[in-house]
Amino acid sequence: MRPAVLAGICLKKDKDRFAARMEECVSLCEACGIEVKTIVTQQSVSADPRTAFRQGKLQELALTVSQTGADAIVFAQELPIAVMNRIQEACGAEVIDRTALILDIFSHRAKSRQAKLQVELARLSYALPSTAIDTETEEHARGGSFRSRGAGERRTAEIARTYRKRISVLKKELSEIDKDYQAAERRRSKSELGRAALIGYTNAGKSSLLNAILQANQKEQRQVYAEDMLFATLDSSVRNISHSGLQFLLYDTVGFVSDLPHTLIDAFNSTLDSARNADLLIHVVDLSDPMMEEKMLVTLETLKTIHADAIPRLTVFTKADKVAKNDRPCAFAVSSVTKEGIEALLDEICERLYPREKVMQCLLPYEKTGLIHDLCRVMHIDRLEEGEDGILIRAEGPKVRMRPLKQYEVNL
């Protein structure tokens, strides 16, 4: 693993959350193949605009890098490119800020073509501002002046132009992929199945929960990749779930993290559509995590950022097998290992997606009995009796799902 020193500035306004943020950054380093040799922190009202750390602490950081043999400094905050360059010059080690760290993890985790393109777009968008830095030591390629570009144009301008062209190409390619995704979603919408999306902090257990639900369904569907690590998967997955005769689509989404870089939110915009388009968000929370409450708040803040905070939510606490029953909240507690609470969770999801809002008794002509097959997936239908004119049924479910049956309604 690559040796590094972890650095962080404890601002007064973030004092209560600083220790947790530093601990999370250690986990991010581990996920990126970086070994944290030691941690250097500074308490301050504000960061130094030129070097983040004040001069005394910057000298201490340089000495620590030399003593530990580290070849990198990881900052727990996002830093401007110019500031990172000054720290690197002062300490003699590469400086990696939090955003670059997350981007590096994403680049290793990306599997699908869409995820790889999204990560490349995020990396270029992150790197683009560095090409605009006008250092005094940078030389012109050949002559030229501030009035004429041409041969005298700086190399950074050439790099910036290359980045912008590539960003434009990536956006077009992602747009084409998004069109295919939207077409697939339109095909799914024709089924009128309800949509639920698993959302939550990274490594909360979303993918493991989806796999546990698939196992409970005993359906031969391919399980999703699940691993005990940050950002184990970057791709959204969707599975058709059946329970008590009802069916719904269940999406697994990319995990959230505190202070999610805007470059990532922008790049993964289409991937987050599965959360924005859901009828029900299932907020998955790791019950064994000591920082559970803070991470719940981060998830809610992220939902606001992606404009999904108005969608109905169901909070589900995972990894219940690691916590005593007396220490569990009065809400849904499930275990993907023991399968505890999975059936009750499926009952609640179906009740939320297909509430028993209305009861209708209908006489369906025999030539229309195909409706039963289509509607029994989204409402409860009982066959009462068969007669000369058709089949008498009793339907119970959401009002909006009852519309196809309205013309066949008979008095109870």
Alpha helices by DSSP H, listed for 72-205, are 81-91, 98-109, 113-127, 155-189
pLDDT at residue number 41: 94
Q: Does domain 2-96 have CATH number 3.40.50.300?
A: no
Residue 216, φ and ψ in degrees, nearest 5 = -65, -30
The order of strands in the sheet holding 194-200 is 237-243, 246-252, 194-200, 280-286, 313-318, 332-333
Q: 203 is written with which tokens?
A: 């490594």
Could you tell me the CATH superfamily of domain 192-353? P-loop containing nucleotide triphosphate hydrolases (3.40.50.300)
3-class DSSP state for residue 173? helix
CATH classification number, 358-410, choose in 3.10.450, 3.30.70, 1.10.357, 1.10.3470: 3.30.70
Among 55-69, 133-147, 299-313, whose mean pLDDT is lowest? 133-147
Average pLDDT, the chain: 84
Task: Please write the tens of the pLDDT for every residue from 59-76.
Answer: 999 999 999 999 999 999
3-class DSSP state for residue 80? coil
DSSP code of residue 406:
G
DSSP code of residue 11:
E
- Say how many C-beta atoms besides its own lie within 10 A of residue 100's C-beta: 21
Task: Please write the tens of the pLDDT for every residue from 98-119.
Answer: 888 888 888 877 777 888 888 8
- Give me the DSSP letters along 315-366: EEEE-GGGS-GGGS-SSEE--TTT-TTHHHHHHHHHHHHS---EEEEEEE-G
Contact 282, 317 (CB under 8 A): no
Question: How confident is the model over 121-139, as a mean pLDDT?
Answer: 68
> One fold for both 2-96 and 192-353?
yes
Q: Which residue has the higher pLDDT, 392 or 291?
A: 392
pLDDT at residue number 90: 94
Among 54-58, 106-110, 216-220, 355-359, whose mean pLDDT is lowest? 216-220
Q: Which residue has the higher pLDDT, 390 or 254?
A: 390
Q: Which residue has the higher pLDDT, 187 or 400?
A: 400
What's at 104, amino acid-wise? D
Q: How far apart are CA 98 and CA 260, in angstroms?
A: 10
- Interacting residues of 172 by C-beta distance below 8 A, sequence separation 6+: none
H/E run at residue 396: strand 391-397
- Does 136 have pLDDT greater than 70? no
Task: Please write the tens of the pLDDT for every residue from 251-262.
Answer: 988 778 877 777
Domain coordinates in residue numbering, the chain = 2-96, 192-353, 358-410
Tokens 């569990």 -> residue: 328
Task: Please write the tens of the pLDDT for every residue from 157-180.
Answer: 788 889 899 999 999 998 888 888
Q: How far apart are CA 231 and CA 139, in angstroms?
A: 41
| Residues of the chain above pLDDT 90, percent | 38
